[in-house]
Amino acid sequence: METIVEYYPAERQQKILDLISRDGRVSVVHLVQLFGVSEVTIRADLNTLAQQNLIVRTHGGAVLASRSPELSLLIRSQQQVSEKGRIGFAAASLITDGDAIFLDTSSTAMAIAQQLKRHRELTILTNSLALAQAMLDAPGVTVVMPGGNLSRETVSLVGVEGLDLLKKFNIQKGFFGAHGINFPEGLTDVSLAEAEVKRQVLSMCREVIAVLDHSKWGRVGLASFARMEQIQRIITNQPVPADLAGQVRGLGIGLILV
């Protein structure tokens, strides 16, 4: 009889990630049999990996995030839906007709865009192909995209070579989602390419506004793209860690809770 090895949660999650990286996908049933633990435990492991944007949860299992960009976007848009809706509404209230704004590739930016379709003479600068497509039914909104290389993981154009086009615009406000926000790392992303685009565009914006739900506080991604001192406002929802909120307010950053 084959002996089932017991793993600590972190070890088991790494084994699961190795399996998905090798095979592209995995089922909950298979993992239960492989590790000899309950479905509840396996689903918790998969949720942990999904929260780190390493995998995408599917019905009955998971796939590697990079193998399913469209599904990854769909899943991200379905996480923290009500919170992102409120953040999107609050962010949209800061935007007026005639503005030029930047929206990044985050699902929160998509929530903002959905609130802007009735605007007139509004210019949205974005490197998100998905967001640009979502604005096809907004005739009063002009969408400008910089050139770049296709990133299938984020369904966007990345690379700094094509960003010179954006320098022609007076960008009143830039709205930036993030994998995490923390001190001293600031705003961070899990994609080096996306972080580099955000870092460059951020310097072109008159006002930098971070838009992220409460789950991002205290998290640190692979690459930093904004120092805390570069941010003018943060739109988020409760609960925000009191110590981090105090540090934010101490820097004079406006904290909008929705």
Question: CATH no. for residue 40?
Answer: 1.10.10.10
Residues 132 and 192 in one domain: yes
Q: Tell me what pLDDT residue 127 has.
A: 96
Is 242 within the bounds of a domain? yes
Q: Is residue 238 over pLDDT 50?
A: yes
Residues 131 and 245 in one domain: yes
Residue 70: predicted pLDDT: 45
Q: How confident is the model at residue 75 (pLDDT cuts 50, 70, 90)?
A: low
With respect to residue 75, please indicate whether it lies within any of the assigned structural domains: no
Q: Give the pLDDT of residue 71.
A: 46
Q: pTM here?
A: 0.73
Domain interval for residue 184: 81-257
In a domain, 3, yes or no: no
Confidence of residue 80 (pLDDT cuts 50, 70, 90): low
- Examine the domain organization and report whether 59 and 178 are in the same domain: no
What is the model's pLDDT at position 65? 67
Residue 165 lies in a domain: yes
How does residue 78 score in pLDDT terms, banded at 50, 70 and 90?
low
DSSP lists the bridge partners of residue 101 as 124, 173
CATH number reported for the structural domain that contains residue 179 in this entry? 3.40.50.1360
Residue 231 lies in a domain: yes
pLDDT given at position 141: 97
Whose CA is closest to 148, among 134, 135, 139, 158?
158
Q: Are both 236 and 180 inside the same structural domain?
A: yes
Residue 1 is assigned to a structural domain of this protein: no
Residues 163 and 50 in one domain: no
3-state secondary structure of 175: strand
**What percent of the chain shows pLDDT beyond 90?**
65
* pLDDT on residue 18: 82
pLDDT tens readout for residues 145-168: 999 998 877 789 999 988 999 999
Written as six digits, the tokens of 179 are 């994998």
> CA-CA distance, 8 to 207, in Å (whole number)?
45
| Higher-scoring residue by pLDDT: 254, 50 | 254
Structure tokens at 234: 């943060």
The three-class DSSP label of residue 194 is: helix
Q: Determine if the peptide bond prior to 184 is cis (ω within 30°).
A: yes
Other C-beta atoms lying within 10 Å of the C-beta of residue 34: 16
Distance CA 235, CA 244 (A): 14
Mean residue pLDDT across the chain: 89
The answer, yes or no, to whether residue 106 has pLDDT greater than 70, is yes
The β-bridge partners of 235 are 211, 256
**Residue/partner pairs of 226-231 with CB below 8 Å, 24 or more apart:** 226/176, 226/178, 226/186, 226/187, 226/198, 226/199, 226/202, 227/186, 228/183, 228/184, 228/186, 228/253, 230/186, 230/202, 231/186, 231/187
SS (H, E, C) 143-173: EECCCCEEECCCCEEECCHHHHHHHHCCEEE
For residue 183, pLDDT beyond 80: yes
Q: What is the pLDDT of residues 137-150, one digit of tens each?
A: 999 999 999 999 98
C-alpha 42/C-alpha 62 separation (Å) is 11
Specify the higher pLDDT residue, 24 or 229.
229
Are 106 and 48 in the same domain?
Answer: no
Contact 225, 190 (CB under 8 A): no
Same domain, 37 and 155: no
Residues 94 and 134 in one domain: yes
Does residue 88 belong to any structural domain of this protein? yes
Could you tell me if residue 141 is inside a domain?
yes
Domain count, the chain: 2
Which range has highest mean pLDDT (5-14, 44-53, 93-102, 182-191)? 93-102
